[in-house]
Every structure is written in C-alpha cells, then in structure tokens.
Amino acid sequence: IRSITLHDLGKMRAAGEKIAMLTCYDASFASLCERAGVDVLLVGDSLGNVLQGQNSTLPVTLEHMVYHTASVARGCKRPWLIADMPFGSYQESPAQAMHNAAKLMAAGAHMVKLEGGAYMAETVRFLVERGVPVCAHIGLTPQSVFQLGGYRVQGRTDESAADMLADARALEAAGAAMIVLEMVPAQLAATLTTSLTSMATIGIGAGASTHGQVLVLHDMLGIYPGHKARFVRNFMLGAESIEAAVATYVHDVKNGGFPLAEHTY
C-alpha cells in the first residue's frame, strides 16, 4: 500500500474529492480505519476525554501523544497521520513548538496540529520552514475552553467572523496546509473554504462545504458516554460491524450524505 502524501491531499482538494478524516488512538483501530478507506487519521488530544475520562484536553501530555502516535503509526500505512500538539507544548515559543513537534514526527506523525489563530502564524512558519507540515485549528479550540466559557459555536457575530477569516488567511500565508474548523456556522465555513487558495479546510460541526470532515472515533461509534454534540452521527446504528460503520462514514463524507442540515449550525 502506498502512503497518502500532502501532494495527494492537495489534488483531492483541487478535484473536489472530500477528505475523510477520523481520530484514532491505537494500532488495531488504525488498521481498521485503513481498511475502511479513511484518508487521514488524527491522533487527537481528545484522547484525554475519550480514553482517559478527563473533562477537558488540558491534562494531556506530550508523552501521552507520543505513545498513541507511535501506536497508530504501527497499525497503518496508507492514511496521512496527524498528531495533536497538547496544551502547553507549543504556545511558549516557536523553538518550544519545534522541539516538541520533532518528538511527534519521530513517533510517526506526518503533520502536527496546533490550536490558535493569527497569533500562531509565526510558530506555523517556523515549523513549516523546518520540514514539519502543520494543520491549524480555529473556531472552538478545546484547549481554550476555560477562556471561551464552554463548548459553544464560534464566529456568530460579524466581528468574530471577520476575525476568523483573518486568522485563516494568516495561517495559510504562514504555510499551514490544512485547517480544522470546529463548531463554526456552515455559511462562515463555506466563505472560509472559498476564500483560501491552498489550505484544505476540514470541518467538525462546520457544515458540508469544507474540503473534508473529521469526527472523534468514539463519538461516531456511539461509545463515548459524555455529551453528544449536534454535529455527531452514530454510524453504528444499522451497521453490521465497526468496520462497516467507519466505511459508511467515509462513503457519506465523500458523497454528501454527511453532514446534513441537522448536524449543522
């Protein structure tokens, strides 16, 4: 099997083929997701919630992320593999971010993801110039949940929507190849997607217009006991196996069957 490259993802973006992304934390699920056709696997710091039972992602450490990234990398070959930089591992300085991104890349990541807007552009550029592809993440950024005042939709006012567009443009100019838009009104996500020239937008609770979709694995399998957000669909309903549920997710993302208006803000 050939590994998906950044070039392949750019071609998918240009051709309008939707990018199907899921979170993944271990080798067995990595292998299953690969068989089901998932294009991109994200070792998300959501593992704090779904594996560790924390009520936020803030307690997740770099060591946790390295352990799970290495596990996922051993389980698959084809998917593009992104690892989240955990809270406190990149915000101090570009040098701190590079030091810690190198550990995730050495564990098998192909790209690192970090949260934040235009203020992170300098760090994004520092990493990209040194060979580390970067996925940005704006909108609802869970590492800032205590600053944001909860898990709520972002960019509802004209001012915050304009800020988000400026953030996305700054991150793209700094070299980010991909950006997660989390809990953003569908209309704003569509505007962002058409306003960017090279960066691929990946939505979670951001409507159907983005270049791709991502969900947390435990959410889309219906096995997370916590809060179920509006943007989640349980793909196990009616599926005969976990692999079939993941394959249906991939199919629905590619064919416009997910997300629907009911999953959208």
Residues forming contacts to ligand KIV in the complex (CB under 6 A) are: 23, 42, 44-46, 84, 180, 182, 204, 214, 216
CB of 84 to ligand KIV, least distance (A): 5
Other CB atoms within a 10 A radius of the CB of residue 53 amount to 9
Binding mask 40-69 for Na ion (x = CB under 5 A): ----xx------------------------
Binding site annotation covers 34? no
Establish if 219 lies at the interface with Na ion (CB under 5 A): no
Establish if 26 lies at the interface with Na ion (CB under 5 A): no
196 vs 232, which CB is nearer to ligand KIV?
A: 232
CB of 159 to ligand KIV, least distance (A): 25
Give the C-alpha separation, 25 to 82, whole Å.
11
Q: Which residues contact 37 (CB under 8 A, 6 or more apart)?
A: 20, 247, 250
Which has the closest alpha carbon to 242: 2, 27, 28?
A: 28
34 vs 45, which CB is nearer to Na ion?
A: 45
- Residue pointed to by tokens 């790209």: 111
CB of 158 to ligand KIV, least distance (A): 26
Binding site annotation covers 71? no
Binding site annotation covers 115? yes
* Footprint on residues 109-168 left by Na ion (CB under 5 A): none
Q: Which does 180 bind (CB under 5 to 8 A by kind): ligand KIV, Na ion, none?
A: ligand KIV
Q: Which does 9 bind (CB under 5 to 8 A by kind): ligand KIV, Na ion, none?
A: none
Give the C-alpha separation, 147 to 97, whole Å.
21
Binding site annotation covers 113? yes
Give the C-alpha separation, 212 to 216, whole Å.
14
CB-based contact 2:41 (threshold 8 Å): no
**Catalytic status, residue 240:** no
The active-site residue out of 182, 240, 243, 262 is 182
CB of 134 to ligand KIV, least distance (A): 14
- DSSP 8-state secondary structure symbol assigned to residue 164: H
Give the C-alpha separation, 110 to 88, whole Å.
21
Q: Which residues contact 43 (CB under 8 A, 6 or more apart)?
A: 23, 24, 25, 65, 68, 69, 72, 81, 82, 83, 84, 109
Give the C-alpha separation, 43 to 24, whole Å.
5
With vertex at residue 243, the alpha carbon angle to CA 240 and CA 246, rounded to the nearest 5 degrees, is: 105
Radius of gyration of the chain (CA): 17
Establish if 84 lies at the interface with Na ion (CB under 5 A): yes
- Mark the binding-site residues for Mg(2+), compressed into ranges: 45, 84, 115
- Mark the binding-site residues, compressed into ranges: 45-46, 84, 113, 115
Residue numbers at the binding site for Na ion (CB under 5 A) = 44-45, 84
Show which residues are catalytic. Answer: 182
